[in-house]
Structure 1
Amino acid sequence: MTTNTKPLQYGIGRARGIFIHLFCLSGVINLLALTGAFYMLQIYDRALTSGSVSTLLALSVLAIGLYLFQGIFDILRSQILIRLGARLDSQLAPLAHTVAIEMPRYGYSTSEAMERGRDVDTLRGFLSSQGPIALFDIPWMPIYLAFVWLLHPVLGLLTIGGAIVLGLITLSAELMTRRSAQSMIRTSVTRNSVADSNARNADILHAMGITGRAVDRFEKANRSHLECQTRTSDISGTLSGLSKVLRMMLQSAVLGTGAYLAIQGDLSAGAIIASSIVTARALAPVDQIIAQWKGIVSARRSHRRLAETLAVIKDTSGQVELPNPHQSLVVDNITTVAPSSGAVLLSDVCLSLNAGQALGLIGPSGGGKTTLARSILGIWPVLRGSVRIDGADLSQWNEDFYNRHVGYLPQDVSLMEGTIAENISRFAEVPDARTIISAAKAAGIHEMVVHLRDGYQTELGPHGTALSAGQRQRIALARALYGDPFLVVLDEPNSNLDADGEEALSLAIASVRQRGGIVVIVAHRPSALQAVDMVGVMQNGRLVAFGPKDEIVQPNKVRPLVVERTASAERPARAVAAE
């Protein structure tokens, strides 16, 4: 699969240039940070010894001006980092969310998918913290070490030794938190998965009295996550506290050593104060890095996962836009496996439909009907073979093709939070009222919708729970029919319909056929086959029969054969997951 790395490369390229400017800006800030040391050095060694008030005033005015410049540059650096985080978020968040939407199709849980979006938040939050500032300051430590060395080599060696010790503590933090940080991620995903499952099944938990058990499951997962988080925080906190103590001890050691050297006549009083100030400034970035280590590790992990995430986005920039489909659907010897387990769900399935035909897929539960429907739509990629529309493989059609020429009604109906009109129009930027009403009439729900208090502007709420199951299914049918798509795939479209709904469904299928579209229906109830002309029988992941409805659906012919095979053959494990 080709990758769409242009937005990522552009964002990283621009960020790299900004980082270079920030590095140079940090150099200026760190040079200005020597103001306090020089000020103390001049005050004690020049102004006090000379007794000149004018010298004291001049040095003070100069120091204030340099401090102001340092503060302005420091604020500027912080604001640049904040805006850099916001820019990267605006560029990467939509791409990461695209992958998060796709991940459940490949067997990942919803919680794992949503982690990709949280990676962008983590990276943006890190750029707004003190972590990057400490990282930018670290390379300029030699300035302070050289300054202390120039004051006296002994003080320089002492400061360098302290920097090495703090560096070893930082390395220890990396080694000790690596494993626990990985465990914390796994337990976080598990906890979020349990929480998401409980929220989605709230009605079942309440109706069957198992809310307490569900809470116990969450509590157990949360406890494991807290244990990992506590362990990681303990390590970081311990090393951070140790580094602060060592830094204060080192600063005191520099003062004591400086006093000894001053007593011996090798150092001035101003140099003692200056060396103490510079030593503290030199080791402050290391101390900050240790304190921010958990955030640094999280940002590094998020950056790595974002790179992996964005690398799988398909590059569609060079795709040639094909003409509108109007001829055929061909399933050419496809084999499909379960994304999560790799178990074979479909084997060597072949069929061909022309414009104006409707196929009804029947067979026992677990036979592979829903898997075939998902394969036709590209929801589950095929392992071998191909699905072609008007001779072109699905990979050659861009996303706009699916938006305009494909309609899908899934087995588990789910409407998005928004109005009825927005759901039917698939959240079009400029919805066409006539097309919305036409789709609603095709699904037989126009009268139902206009009798609602807010009509087409009725807010459905989360998952469309404001409506009944039958109403949701018919709105989803209208969504599938919106814009007169060429290919319409309906998975058990009449599972929640009454007699009026089934009649409207049959009329909708007939209408698609009359305008030259193709319909594929997964059916368990015979009434769904009224408007089809072709029937396929799925069993154990294979298409065991395919042809005109009058030839396939005969009481004394195929049905007894299917029942006999179902009863006698051992159903493989792969068929269980097919539905």
Structure 2
Amino acid sequence: MNTMKKFIRYYKPYKTIFFLDMFCALVISLIDLAFPQILNYLNATFYLQSKDAIMKGLLYLAIGLFVMYVIRSICRYYVSAQGHIMGSRMESDMRQELFDQFERLSFSYYDENNTGEMMSKLVSDLFDISEFAHHGPENIFISLLKIFGSFLLLLYIHVPLTIILMIVTICMLLFSLAQNKKMQATFMDNRKKIAGVNARLQDSLAGIRVVKSFANEDIERNKFSESNLQFLDSKINNYHCMGRFHAGNNFFQGMLYLTILVAGGYFIAQGTLSPVSLATYALYINIFVAPIEVLVEFTEMFQKGFSGFRRFLDVMETKPEIRDCVDAQDLTDVEGVIDYHNVSFSYNADEPVLENVNIHIDAGKSIALVGPSGGGKTTICSLLPRFYDVCEGSITIDGKDIRSLTLNSLRKAIGIVQQDVYLFTGSILENIAYGRPDASKEEIIDAAKKANIHDFIMSLPDGYDTYVGERGTRLSGGQKQRISIARVFLKDPKILILDEATSALDNESERHIQKSLEELAKNRTCITIAHRLSTIRHADEIIVIGENGMEERGTHEQLLKENGVYANYYRLQFEGLDD
């Protein structure tokens, strides 16, 4: 019931459409219930009159029935069209809410969940919810109205026969409830398995270049086949449950007709029921049974929609680990003084990544982090924009604890250039403008010039309107990197993080990009993660991070004189691995 209350609130913006939809459903039900009564009246009274009276009354009868069915058609149109539109609008609202929630969730959520599963919740789950949102209230309302209305009229015609009918109906209801629980479990399993299919598909297609480079298409086919067959098995179990459900309900519907014919014949023989009344009774049985069939079929839709909505709620009720505190303040007039005070962090409680890290960076100065992979260099940088929160200690910018600042203002003050550049599908202009969406074209071009990419862009047939392809596949690594640098130039942050920005590039591209990065770093507080030591010689401080935390720190010259870990790295890189 709590879940249903949460679902019902999505009807609130469309309550006018909803109540009109229910009103039209009421009119349709009343007209359907009225027809057997009209026929009964005609058989009992109207058709027993004289020929002239019948001929005179037929015109009024035809006009009345014509108007009645015109009204029914109009109501049916409204229920079918506006009802579905309402469901689609609710689906759109939920999809937007779900996407907004995905945008709010912290990195830790994405560390634990697959993109394909999230897409499944965003697309297929919400479609079933939409169908349930529209057909649910309408089917339940019309069906219950017809069932109770016809039941009352059946009681009016013959009470004993209706009591027998009710006993069979109760047995049918108990059977449906028992099967319904089994169907609910299978539908939820269906959702999980199709999410697994989507996850496997997304993973394989996103890495298609790696797949083909290793000629591992057969491996991917086998992995997809495994997920696909698991989904098939789940669907087979589901359809077995549905088969038992529908077969059992059809059996009980047959028992209803059997009851009417046998018990009706008995009561006719006893003289308590007339053949004409039994004929009218049979018409109402059709009205009584038809909505039961609708409710039986609706059960499948309900289970799909309800299980989809529960998965939707699972995401919506996930609290972002990183969010603004109650009295968070905007970070303004940024100078760029950064301090890590006794910072400790772990992704899980058993494996500490950082312990008692202390770093001070003056405004406009640069530090470099070097050392083997897995030492925590990227983690140190990820804590600054609060992609994750420190477990102990604090990080301050200009003396302000970053947890007391709004995430929006904090992250706008920090620019990040990463090794793995992500370009969005669209044009070069749109990708550079991502750094500041309200920038003018002149500002975008100026940023491109500073990143040494303008001349290349102008050499393309479509210039800044050139389509980059999915994730920038039409561009080289160096070109993508310079576009990402232009993006940060446009953002113009006071604090800069360079996370191995040149490590994946060839020497010539590195030289070009290093010049761009040096220009970008001017008058900014800069943290650089680098494996190529040539790129950090001029850093104001170099910190060597190893398995035991911060092992050395100082300038390039100081660390070479100490002849420690950094000096060893330097010799390995510049004097040859053989030595």
Distance of aligned partners of 1:28 and 1:468 in 2 relative to their CA distance in 1, 3 Å threshold: same
Q: Say whether the 8 Å CA contact 1:330–1:353 is kept in structure 2.
A: yes
Equivalent residue in structure 1 for 2:101, among 78, 99, 118: 99
> Which residue of 1 is the match for residue 49 of structure 2?
50
Q: Deviations over 1:217-249 (max 9, x none)?
A: 111221111011121022113312432343244
Structure 1 Cα separation of the partners of residues 402 and 90 of structure 2: 32
* Higher RCO structure (Cα 8 Å, ≥6 apart): 1
For the Cα contact (< 8 Å) 1:138–1:286, is it kept in 2? yes
- The aligned residue for residue 70 of structure 2 is 68
The equivalent of 1:483 in structure 2 is 491
1:203 to 204, 209, 212: 209
Residue 302 (structure 1) aligned to one of 285, 300, 308: 308
C-alpha deviations, 1:395-417, integer Å up to 9, x for none?
A: 55546436743322233222111
What residue identity is the alignment partner of 2:97?
A: L
Bigger CA drift: 358-367 or 482-491? Answer: 482-491
Q: Deviations over 1:152-197 (max 9, x none)?
A: 1123223323432332233123221233233323322322222222
1:343–1:303: structure 2 CA closer, same or farther, 3 Å change rule?
Answer: farther
The one-letter code of the counterpart of 1:165 is C
Alignment partner of 2:41: what SS? helix
Please give the root-mean-square deviation of Cα atoms over the aligned residues, in Å: 3.3
- Distance verdict in 2 for CA 1:410–1:512, change over 3 Å: closer
1:570 counterpart residue number: none
Q: Deviation of residue 490 (structure 1)? A: 1.9
Shift of 1:356: 0.6
**1:505/1:153 CA distance change after superposition, 3 Å:** same
CA 1:98–1:530 in 2, change beyond 3 Å: closer, same or farther?
farther
How many Å apart are 1:500 and its aligned residue?
4.7
Please state whether the residue corresponding to 1:490 is helix, strand or coil: strand
Residues 65 and 156 of structure 1, relative CA distance in 2, 3 Å threshold: farther
Q: Which residue matches 1:456?
A: 464
Matched, 1:334 2:351: no
The answer on 1:227 being equivalent to 2:233 is yes
Report the Cα distance in structure 2 between the residues aligned to 1:469 and 1:323, rounded to whole angstroms.
35
* Matches for 1:282-301 after TM superposition, within 5 Å: 282-301=288-307
Q: Which residue of 2 aligns with 1:368?
A: 376
Contact 1:100 1:117 in 2 (8 A): no
8 Å CA contact retained: 1:251, 1:280: no
Identity over aligned pairs, percent: 22
- Per-residue CA deviations over 1:15-48 (Å, capped at 9, x if unaligned) read 5676556445544432232122212211222223
**Which one-letter code corresponds to 1:243 in the other structure?**
N
- The question of whether the paired residues in 1 share the 8 Å contact of 2:423 and 2:480 is answered with yes
Work out which of the residue numbers 513, 520, 545 in structure 2 matches 1:538. 545
Aligned twin of 2:577: none
Tell me, in whole angstroms, the C-alpha distance in 2 between the residues paired with 1:93 and 1:17: 22
Check the 8 A contact 1:159/1:279 in 2, yes or no: no
Contact residue 122 and residue 299 of structure 1 kept, 8 A? yes
Contact 1:444 1:504 (8 Å CA) reproduced? yes
> Structure 2 CA distance, aligned partners of 1:240 and 1:50?
46
Q: Please, which moves more after superposition, 275-284 or 452-461? A: 275-284
1:188 paired residue number: 194
- Residue 152 to residue 307, structure 1, CA distance change in 2 (3 Å): same
Are residues 19 and 394 of structure 1, via their aligned partners in 2, closer, same or farther at CA, if it must alter by over 3 Å? farther
Matched residues in 1 for 2:385 and 2:560: separation? 26
Measure, in 1, the Cα distance between the counterparts of 2:212 and 2:392: 44
Instruction: Measure how far apart 1:541 and its partner are.
Output: 7.7
Aligned to 1:90: 92
Q: How far is the alpha carbon of 1:87 from its aligned partner?
A: 2.3
- Partners of 1:292 and 1:553 lie apart in 2 by 76
Corresponding residue number in structure 2 for 1:32: 31
Displacement of 1:477: 2.4
Alignment partner of 1:165 out of 160, 171, 181? 171
Alpha-carbon distance in structure 2 between the residues aligned to 1:9 and 1:241: 32
Matches of 2:121 and 2:335, distance apart in 1? 38
Structure 1 portions without partners, runs of 5+: 1-6, 564-579
Query: In the aligned structure 2, how far is the partner of 1:29 from the partner of 1:209?
Result: 62
Is 1:116 paired with 2:151? Answer: no
User: What aligned pairs does 1:381-392 form with structure 2 within 5 A after superposition?
Assistant: 381-392=389-400
Question: Do the aligned residues in 1 keep the contact of 2:495 with 2:525 (CA within 8 Å)?
Answer: yes
Shift of 1:71: 3.0
Task: Provide the TM-score with structure 2 as the length reference.
Answer: 0.85
Change in CA separation of 1:65 and 1:479 when aligned onto 2, cut-off 3 Å: same
Partners in 1 of 2:231 and 2:449 — Cα distance? 51
Which range is displaced more, 318-327 or 490-499?
318-327
| Counterpart residue type for residue 534 of structure 1 | E
SS of corresponding position for 2:197: helix
| CA deviation string 1:358-415 (max 9, x = no partner) | 2211111111112222222322343444443334444555464367433222332221
Q: Does the aligned pair in 2 maintain the 1:425–1:431 contact within 8 Å?
A: yes
Question: Quick one: distance in 2 between partners of 1:8 and 1:539?
Answer: 52
| Corresponding residue to 2:566 among 522, 536, 559 | 559
Counterpart in 2 of 1:356? 364
Deviation at 1:213, TM superposition (A): 1.8
For residues 343 and 39 of structure 1, the distance between their equivalents in structure 2, rounded to whole angstroms, comes to 79
**How far apart in 2 are the matches of 1:113 and 1:363?**
36
CA gap 1:270/1:407 in 2 versus in 1, 3 angstroms: farther
Q: CA deviation at 1:313?
A: 6.4
| Matched residue SS, 2:425 | coil
Code of the aligned partner of 1:327: G
1:217 equivalent in structure 2: 223
Matches within 5 A, 1:492-507: 492-507=500-515
Residues 436 and 490, structure 2, Cα contact 8 Å, conserved in 1: no
Deviations 1:319-339 (A, max 9, x none): 654424333233343333337
Which amino acid in 1 is paired with 2:544? V
Structure 2: distance between partners of 1:335 and 1:115: 37
Tell me, in whole angstroms, the C-alpha distance in 1 between the residues paired with 2:246 and 2:396: 60
Q: Distance in 2 between matches of 1:448 and 1:472?
A: 12
Amino acid at match of 2:542: V
TM-score by length of 1: 0.85
**Gapped runs of 5+ residues in structure 2?**
1-5, 571-579
Structure 1 residues 44 and 472 mapped into 2: Cα distance closer, same or farther (>3 Å)? same
Match 1:470 to one of 457, 478, 481: 478
Displacement of 1:112 in angstroms is 2.4
Query: Does structure 1 residue 137 correspond to structure 2 residue 146?
Result: no
Worse-superposed segment, 9-18 or 324-333: 9-18
Structure index of larger Rg: 2
Opposite residue 115 of structure 1, the aligned amino acid is S
| Cα shift at 1:523 | 0.8
Q: Deviations over 1:299-354 (max 9, x none)?
A: 11222232332334668799654424333233343333337x97443333332323
Change (3 A) 1:133 1:11: closer
Q: How many pairs are equivalent? A: 554
1:51-107: CA deviations, max 9, x gaps? Answer: 541445544433333333233223323333322223223323223123335465342
Instruction: Indicate if the aligned counterparts of 2:197 and 2:227 stay in contact, CA closer than 8 A.
Output: yes
C-alpha distance in 2, partners of 1:491/1:559? 19
Is the CA contact 1:166–1:286 (under 8 Å) kept in the aligned structure 2? Answer: no
Matched AA of 1:97 = F
- Do 2:116 and 2:201's aligned partners in 1 also have CA atoms closer than 8 Å? no
Q: Which amino acid is the alignment partner of residue 532 of structure 2?
A: R
- Counterparts of 2:561 and 2:65, CA distance in 1: 98
Summarize the Cα distance change of 1:381–1:182 in structure 2 as closer, same or farther, 3 Å threshold: farther
Q: Residue by residue, what CA displacement relative to the aligned partner does 1:248-279 show, whole Å, maximum 9, x if unpaired?
A: 44135325544543454433444333322333
**Contact preservation (8 Å) 1:423, 1:479:** yes
**Would you say the 8 A contact 1:37–1:277 is kept in 2?**
yes
Partner residue, 1:571: none
SS at match of 1:33: helix
